[in-house]
Amino acid sequence: HARQVTTTASSLAAASARRKSSSAPGSAPARRAFSVRGASSSSPSPSRMVPVPPSRESTLIELNTGYNMPLVGLGTWQAARGVVGQAVADALELGYVHIDCAAAYANECEVGHALTAAVAKGTVTREQLFITSKLWNDRRRPEDVRAALQQSLADLQLEYLDLYLIHWPVVWRRGTLMQTDGGASLAACWRALEAAVDAGLVRSIGVSNFDEGQMAELMAAARVQPAVNQVEIHPRLPQRALVSWCQKRGVAVTAYSPLARGGGLFDDEVVGDIAAKHGVTPAQAVLRWGVERGIVVIPKSVTASRIAANRDLFSFALDEEDMKGMSRLDDGTTTSTSPWSDSGPTAGRNKVLKPLISTLLWPVFKIISVDVQRMGRTGFIKWSWSRE
Ligand code: NAP
């Protein structure tokens, strides 16, 4: 498998090297080409190339900021409060170091408790951890960006984030859903994120749910280039063009919903045959398909046995025939239900849905204000007339 990852990575590295950015963020190491660590021909130690859990030396991908990102992380969306802390604790015990969070998941406080407890117990050190969070859609003004970041840091009980992503390429008025903020922009928001890198609050910054056009616009104006684009990817939605566009430009890709939330993949005959051939579960075969493409996968689970299996992806490899078989599953199916998405497979539907919902919601946000940053604690709906 290392050879396959190397092939992908070295072509990416060459493309990335051709397009070097003129600046490197704050205290980060010098900018390097995009590569998969431990899989390059110049460091051919098989034991490092094929680490098997519970080793913490899980295969890493090197970001364009010079920091390493583990290819497998634990997703935390819809991991309920009261459950998510145990899932994170289990994952860390099982060798995970990469946790994917977001303010909008309303559970960062509990994740933070679990992280602190694991570090105190000596399960893991802060330096080993790779923690991602995401900036919600109504926090686009520079002062709101900094406050939201500070809140996520406080909730996660961290001094810095390893990666902070713009959750969606949309600009909403504070406290609303889908109400455009004419006084804010993604460009100004990005500058605030660059300032957060300079201040040492974040190591790498990136985006989520951006298409090629949105990426190009952001990258043309950026001083610190996005390190990651996190988008929905699984065999039913391989996103080949977007993945290739990003990887050629040194932007690492993270697959969210990498199991398509179950979505028919586990019962699929092709997946079943590939899994049986390698003596692994269908979920492992599907996740390995992502890793083979040099993509970071962040499966969510709150079930210890599944958490363990989902990280055990480095003791087998898919061959060309398996990859071809998986490509037959591509039917454009998306798990995304977000009506505000302008890109991806639901864009057509949302063209109609978005203005409709947005208009219907307009009077609602005259009365109430939603505070996503507070969802993980208490009272996230406020009466508008009591707003300062
Ligand atoms: P997913 O990881 O594709 O699927 C999660 C579902 O699969 C859960 O129901 C889980 O059940 C089940 N599952 C996990 N491992 C399994 C296994 N080995 N065998 C059978 N079932 C298994 O979907 P997701 O949660 O949508 O995506 C993963 C993460 O991506 C999220 O948690 C979040 O961190 C991130 N995400 C980001 C965005 C974005 O806009 N940036 C959007 C969506 C998701 P149990 O938990 O009950 O085990």
Three-state SS for the chain is: CHHHHHHHHHHHHHHHHHCCCCCCCCCCCCCCCCEEECCCCCCCCHHHHCCCCCCCCCCEEECCCCCEEECECEECCCCCCCCHHHHHHHHHHCCCCEEECCHHHCCHHHHHHHHHHHHHHCCCCCCCCEEEEEECCCCCCHHHHHHHHHHHHHHHCCCCEEEEEECCCCCECCCCCCCECCCCCHHHHHHHHHHHHHCCCEEEEEEECCCHHHHHHHHHHCCCCCCEEEEECECCECCHHHHHHHHHCCCEEEEECCCHHHCCCCCCHHHHHHHHHHCCCHHHHHHHHHHHCCCEECCECCCHHHHHHHHCCCCCCCCHHHHHHHHCCCCCCCCCCCCCCCCCCCHHHHHHHHHHHHHHHCCHHHHEEECHHHCCCCCCEEEHHHCC
Domain assignment present for residue 18? The answer is no
Same structural domain, 327 and 351: no
Domain assignment present for residue 375? The answer is yes
Three-state SS for 293-356 is: CCCEECCECCCHHHHHHHHCCCCCCCCHHHHHHHHCCCCCCCCCCCCCCCCCCCHHHHHHHHHH
Q: What is the pLDDT of residues 74-101, one digit of tens each?
A: 999 999 999 999 999 999 999 999 999 9
CATH classification of the domain holding 189: 3.20.20.100
- Sole residue written with tokens 């090297």: 17
Same structural domain, 326 and 363: no
Measure CA 89 to chain center.
20
Same structural domain, 328 and 351: no
If you take atom 20 of ligand 1, which residue's CA is the nearest one?
283
Name 154's Cβ contacts closer than 8 Å, sequence gap at least 6: none
Tally of structural domains, the chain: 2
pLDDT of residue 216: 98
Asked if 118 contacts 124 with a C-beta cutoff of 8 angstroms, the reply is yes
Domain assignment present for residue 213? The answer is yes
Q: Report the C-alpha gap between 80 and 5 in whole angstroms.
A: 34
pLDDT of residue 7 exceeding 50, the answer is: no
Same structural domain, 258 and 377: no
If you take atom 45 of ligand 1, which residue's CA is the nearest one?
301
pLDDT of residue 42: 32
Same structural domain, 80 and 212: yes
Asked if 135 contacts 189 with a C-beta cutoff of 8 angstroms, the reply is yes
- Identify which of 207, 259, 267 to mutate to test ligand 1's pocket (most ligand atoms within 8 A of the CB): 259
Ligand 1 centre distance from Cα of residue 273 (Å): 22
Same structural domain, 230 and 109: yes
Q: Return the biggest CA–CA distance within the chain.
A: 64
Q: What is the pLDDT of residues 108-149, one digit of tens each?
A: 999 999 999 999 999 999 999 999 999 999 999 999 999 999
Same structural domain, 199 and 324: yes
Q: Which residue has the higher pLDDT, 321 or 56?
A: 321
Q: Report the C-alpha gap between 190 and 52 in whole angstroms.
A: 38
- Identify which of 165, 234, 242, 301 to mutate to test ligand 1's pocket (most ligand atoms within 8 A of the CB): 301
pLDDT of residue 384: 60
Ligand 1 centre distance from Cα of residue 244 (Å): 24
Asked if 193 contacts 211 with a C-beta cutoff of 8 angstroms, the reply is no
The pTM for the full model equals 0.87
pLDDT of residue 4 exceeding 50, the answer is: no
Whether 105 is catalytic is yes
Atom of ligand 1 nearest to the CA of 230: 41
Ligand 1 centre distance from Cα of residue 306 (Å): 11
pLDDT of residue 369: 85
Strand partners, 256: 232
Domain assignment present for residue 98? The answer is yes
Asked if 141 contacts 183 with a C-beta cutoff of 8 angstroms, the reply is yes
pLDDT of residue 370: 84
Catalytic site residue from 105, 160, 164, 256? 105
Same structural domain, 281 and 373: no
Give the range of the structural domain holding residue 155, as residue numbers without chain letter.
60-336
If you take atom 18 of ligand 1, which residue's CA is the nearest one?
306
Q: What is the pLDDT of residues 254-309, one digit of tens each?
A: 999 999 998 889 999 999 999 999 999 999 999 999 999 999 999 999 999 999 99
Q: Which residue has the higher pLDDT, 356 or 122?
A: 122
pLDDT of residue 53: 41
pLDDT of residue 214: 96
Residues within a 6 A CB radius of ligand 1: 75-78, 100, 167, 208-209, 230, 256-262, 266, 281, 283, 298-303, 306, 309-310
Q: Report the C-alpha gap between 290 and 299 in whole angstroms.
A: 11
Q: What is the pLDDT of residues 19-70, one digit of tens each?
A: 233 233 333 343 332 334 433 333 333 322 333 344 444 589 999 999 999 9
Residue where a domain stops, chosen among 315, 336, 357: 336
Question: What confidence category does residue 2 fall into, taking pLDDT thresholds of 50, 70 and 90?
Answer: very low
